[in-house]
Amino acid sequence: MSAFIHTKPVPGGKAVNLSKSGKIMTKTVKITFSKTPKQKSDTLAACVGADGAFSPEAEALNKQSGGTIRQWMDAQDHFTGKAGQVAVIAAPKNKDGVVRYMLVGTGEAADLTAAEAAVIGGKFYSALKSTGTEHATLFAAAKGAAKSDKKSKKSDEKQPLGADATAAHIAEGLRLRAYDFDLYKSADKGNGKKGDKKARALQSVDIVLDDATKAAAMERDLAAAAAGTHVARDLTNEPPNVIYPDSYAKRIAKMLQPLGVHVEILDEKKMAKLGMESHLAVGQGSARPPRVVIMRYAGKSGAKGAKSAKTAPKMTKPLAFVGKGVTFDTGGISIKPAAGMDDMKMDMGGSAAVVGLMHTLASRKAKVDVVGIVGLAENMPSDRAYRPGDIINSMAGKTIEVLNTDAEGRLVLCDALTYVQKHDKPKMIIDLATLTGAIMVALGPEYAGAYANDETLWTQLHDASQKTGEKLWRMPLDDFYRKSMVSTIADLKNISGSPHGGSCTAAGFLQHFIEGDTPWAHLDIAGTAWVNADKPLGPKGATGFGVRVLNQMVMDYYE
Task: Determine whether the annotation assigns residue 491 to a binding site.
Answer: no
Nearest 5°: phi and psi at 94?
A: -150, 165
Torsion-angle region of 508 (φ positive above 0: left; ψ -120 to 50: alpha; else: beta) = alpha
- 410, 467, 493, 548: the catalytic one is 410
Residue 127 corresponds to which amino acid?
A
What CA–CA distances, in Å, run from 236 to 264, 350, 354, 381, 521?
Answer: 21, 9, 12, 22, 22
CB 86 within 8 A of CB 43: no
- 250, 254, 300, 336: the catalytic one is 336
What CA–CA distances, in Å, run from 219 to 207, 276, 367, 468?
Answer: 12, 42, 18, 13
CB atoms within 10 A of CB 254: 15
Return d(Cα 419, Cα 249) in angstroms, integer. 17
Strand order across the 204-208 sheet? 30-34, 204-208, 135-139, 43-49, 100-107, 86-90
Strand partners of residue 429: 320, 520
Is 220 labeled as catalytic in the residue annotation?
A: no
Q: Which helix (H) or strand (E) holds 232?
A: helix 212-237
What CA–CA distances, in Å, run from 209 to 149, 155, 168, 206, 243?
Answer: 14, 26, 11, 10, 43
Closest of 290, 361, 321, 322 to residue 555, by C-alpha: 361
Return d(Cα 292, Cα 276) in angstroms, integer. 10
Is 410 labeled as catalytic in the residue annotation?
A: yes
Task: Determine whether the annotation assigns residue 406 to a binding site.
Answer: yes
What CA–CA distances, in Å, run from 505 to 435, 492, 517?
Answer: 11, 12, 20
Task: Determine whether the annotation assigns residue 108 to a binding site.
Answer: no
Helix (H, G, I), strand (E, B) or coil at 17: helix
Terminal-to-terminal C-alpha distance of the chain: 52
Query: Which residues of 267-402 form beta strands (DSSP E)?
Result: 291-298, 319-329, 369-379, 391-392, 400-401
Return d(Cα 381, Cα 394) in angstroms, integer. 21
Could you give the count of Cα atoms lying within 13 Å of 108 in the half-sphere of its Cβ? 3
How big is the chain by its Cα radius of gyration, in Å?
Answer: 25
Binding positions for Mn(2+) are 324, 329, 347, 406, 408
Catalytic (active-site) positions: 336, 410
Which residues carry a binding-site annotation?
Answer: 324, 329, 347, 406, 408
